[in-house]
Amino acid sequence: MTATVAAARNAYTRGGVATAAPPQLLVMLWDRIVLDVERALRAQLKADWEEAHHQLLHAQACYTELLSSLDTEGWEAGPQLASLYDYLNRRLVVANVQRDQRATKEVLAHSRALRDTWHQAVIAAAQQASLG
C-alpha cells in the first residue's frame, strides 16, 4: 500500500470515528479488538513477536478504554462485565509476556462472542427506537 493510500484510509477512518454515535463507536471498538487479537495470533503463529506485541498492546488499550467507560453503578450487570473485561485484559498480558497462543485464542473467542453480542444489541436498540 502506498503512503498516499494509507494516509487517505487513515483520514477516512478518523472522520468516521469523529462522527459516529456512541453505539457505533462501541461496535467499532469491538471490531478493532477482534482484528487486533486476530493479527496478534497470526503473528504469534509466525513467531513475529514484535508484531504480536504491538497488536496485543493495542487490544489491551481497547479493553482499558472499555473498562474506563463502563458505568458499573448505573447498570446491574456492570460489575460483572467489568470483571470479564479485566480478566480478558490480564489474559492479553499473559499472551504478550509469555508468548502464550492459548491465552490469545481464549481472548479471541471471548472477544468475538462479545463483539457479536454488542452488534446485536445495537441493532436491536436501533430497531426499537425506530418503532417507538
How would DSSP label each residue in 66-113? HHHH--SSSSTTHHHHHHHHHHHHHHHHHHHHS--HHHHHHHHHHHHH
pLDDT digit string, tens, across residues 84-113: 999 999 999 999 999 999 999 999 999 999
Q: How many CB atoms lie within 10 A of CB 90?
A: 14
Name the pLDDT band for 2 (thresholds 50, 70, 90). low
What's the predicted TM-score (pTM) here?
0.82
How many whole angstroms separate alpha carbon 124 and alpha carbon 121?
Answer: 5
Domains of the chain: 21-131 (1.20.120.340)
How many whole angstroms separate alpha carbon 50 and alpha carbon 25?
Answer: 28
Which of the two residues, 113 and 12, has the higher pLDDT score?
A: 113
Average pLDDT of every residue of the chain: 88
- Cβ distance 52 to 20 under 8 Å? no
Query: What phi and psi, each to the nearest 5 degrees, are found at residue 43?
Result: -65, -40
